[in-house]
Structure 1
Amino acid sequence: MERIAVIGAGNIGEACISGLLSSGVEPSAIIATNRSSERSAELAERYGVHTTSNNREAVRDADVALLCVKPAQILDVIAELGEELTNSGSSTVLVSMAAGVTIAAMEEAVSAAGTPIVRVMPNTPMLVGKGVLAAACGRFVDDNQRAGVVELLSAAGQVVEVAESQMDAVTAISGSGPAYFFLVAEALVDAGVSLGLPRELAQQLACATASGAGAMLAGGDSPVQLRANVSSPGGTTARAVRELEESGLRGAFYRATELCAKRSSELGKS
């Protein structure tokens, strides 16, 4: 893809820009929009990309437009872009990063008939190139466009293709998932302080442990096997895990993810 527009270059949009440049895309191929002139100037200076406050100008002749705006804004932005796509006859692929908003709703909002749309659920580790991006393609996305979008998104992390019907569940597991791990790390830090450790040391231990555990999970062994490897019969870890189970940790995750998926669905309907 020769020309890439990033609409709404906030944190997620900047992560996309950074990942694309790291993967070898030339800065001159990227144009980013932001309502703040100061933010646009910052992006231009930091990355060397083109910037504008005009979304329609940004998508003109673009091969793909990464829509990194809030769910409440996405349909209005798509309607605005649709006018430009109709007038220019462009076959720009619209890639939405907005949670909850369905492909059908986006196809209805765009005035350019047959516009290819891809719905993506990213997560914040894409800011460090370690994201998980789940993608569902609309009916007008052809094989070449699909492959091109997957290649682009891979610059920010691991891409998985899913059915759109799975998106609310994906949101609950990977989209919101980093917050669950951050909460666990926060709780471990507080527990360490309660046990008498200085907070700085407790945080160092908890964060380094989370990083190491994540690396082991990426190695291919199942979480069940990895936990069993640490849990010696009758040992300290087995005692701690038993308490977590009896305190309802597993059930809490079931309930939390169910509520998260429900909220994702509600966002789409609203």
Structure 2
Amino acid sequence: MITPRPLPDIGSVWLLGCGNMGGALLRRWVEAGLTRVAVIDPAPRSLPEGVAADATPPEGVPDVLVVAVKPQMLAEAAAPLIARLGPDTLIVSIVAGVSSATLSAMFGGRQVVRTMPNTPASAGQGVTALFGPRADGTADALFSAAGTTVWLDDEAQFDAVTAVSGSGPAYVFAMIEALAAAGVAAGLPQALADELALRTVAGAGHLAALGEASPAALRESVTSPNGTTAAGLAVLQPALGPLVTATVAAAARRSRELGEAV
């Protein structure tokens, strides 16, 4: 098991790109005590108080470069930085679909840790999958500040990881929307349907996360024979499995396409 280093001990960090995901991680790092961080982005989405951004890199050499740009912007955004990095600068990528080999070649053969965080990181409840060198705990330190980390043994799993946990929050949000809309269709006022759907999904997720029972066991505990839940599941379950499988497959396919386009 890897022990994350304290964030202030990992040295200087450059963050290339401060969109939704980069900004969410940055806020968690600052809250966890990281002070030596520079943001390279001509138009950052949102910055924590006391952190500035610039279109060009600062003086000095970073210990870690976190790459948080869209795949189609990667080559152009990375080009001005390559000559500014030290031989031991660690490249940490959250760029969807782009392999470690491609990233390492782009950054002059430097070590790369490839990652896939998700948006609950903004609340410290994210899960990040990582692949690459892990001995010193640097990458664990960065992403443990935003939630849970899991290491992959096979980089080929990243497209599926992206489709499940990277895109997964959007599927859950869509489920909340659909459940609320169904409540309105069944006769509830919109505000009440919204509140019931949101709190039900949040509470069920929390209960599952406690780990005291499997999701299947929890589902069964709610489902009385011939009851209301059983009637609903008789409609939902036959459609849900194939639909979610097709959804994840489509997202994984797009992840592969994005990587191939770089």
Same fold (TM over 0.5): yes
Counterpart among 233, 236, 253 of residue 262 in structure 1: 253
Counterpart among 140, 143, 150 of residue 153 in structure 1: 143
Question: Using a 3 Å threshold, how does the CA distance of structure 1 residues 127 and 142 change in structure 2: closer, same or farther?
Answer: closer
Alignment of 1:78-97 (within 5 A): 78-85=78-85, 89-97=86-94
What corresponds to 2:114 in structure 1?
A: 119
What corresponds to 2:186 in structure 1?
A: 195
Whether the aligned pair in 2 keeps the contact of 1:78 and 1:106 (CA below 8 Å) is no
- Structure 1 unmatched runs, 5+: none
- Deviation, structure 1 residue 223: 0.9
Q: Distance in 2 between matches of 1:217 and 1:223?
A: 6
What corresponds to 1:210 in structure 2?
A: 201
Q: Distance in 2 between matches of 1:100 and 1:84?
A: 25
Equivalent residue letter for 1:6: L
Alignment of 1:90-239 (within 5 A): 90-110=87-107, 112-113=108-109, 115-137=110-132, 141=133, 143-144=135-136, 147-162=137-152, 163-220=154-211, 221-239=213-231
Q: Distance in 2 between matches of 1:173 and 1:191?
A: 25
- Structure with the bigger RCO (C-alpha within 8 Å, sep 6+) is 2
- Structure 2 unmatched runs, 5+: 1-9
Whether the aligned pair in 1 keeps the contact of 2:131 and 2:151 (CA below 8 Å) is yes
Q: Distance in 1 between matches of 2:134 and 2:186?
A: 57
Runs of 4+ in structure 1 deviating by more than 6 angstroms, as ranges, are none
Whether the aligned pair in 2 keeps the contact of 1:168 and 1:261 (CA below 8 Å) is yes
Whether the aligned pair in 1 keeps the contact of 2:42 and 2:53 (CA below 8 Å) is no
1:200-239 deviation per Cα after TM superposition (whole angstroms, max 9, x unaligned): 1100000011110111111112110110111111111111
Q: Distance in 2 between matches of 1:262 and 1:74?
A: 20
- Deviation, structure 1 residue 268: 0.9
Whether the aligned pair in 1 keeps the contact of 2:28 and 2:146 (CA below 8 Å) is yes
How many residues align? The count is 250
Whether the aligned pair in 1 keeps the contact of 2:61 and 2:84 (CA below 8 Å) is no
Identity of aligned residues (%): 38
1:136-173 deviation per Cα after TM superposition (whole angstroms, max 9, x unaligned): 11xxx4622xx111111111111111121100110111
- TM-score normalised per structure 1: 0.87
1:48-89 deviation per Cα after TM superposition (whole angstroms, max 9, x unaligned): 12432213x37x42111111111111233333322222xxx3
- TM-score normalised per structure 2: 0.90
RMSD across aligned positions (CA): 1.7
What corresponds to 2:25 in structure 1?
A: 16
Whether the aligned pair in 1 keeps the contact of 2:13 and 2:38 (CA below 8 Å) is yes
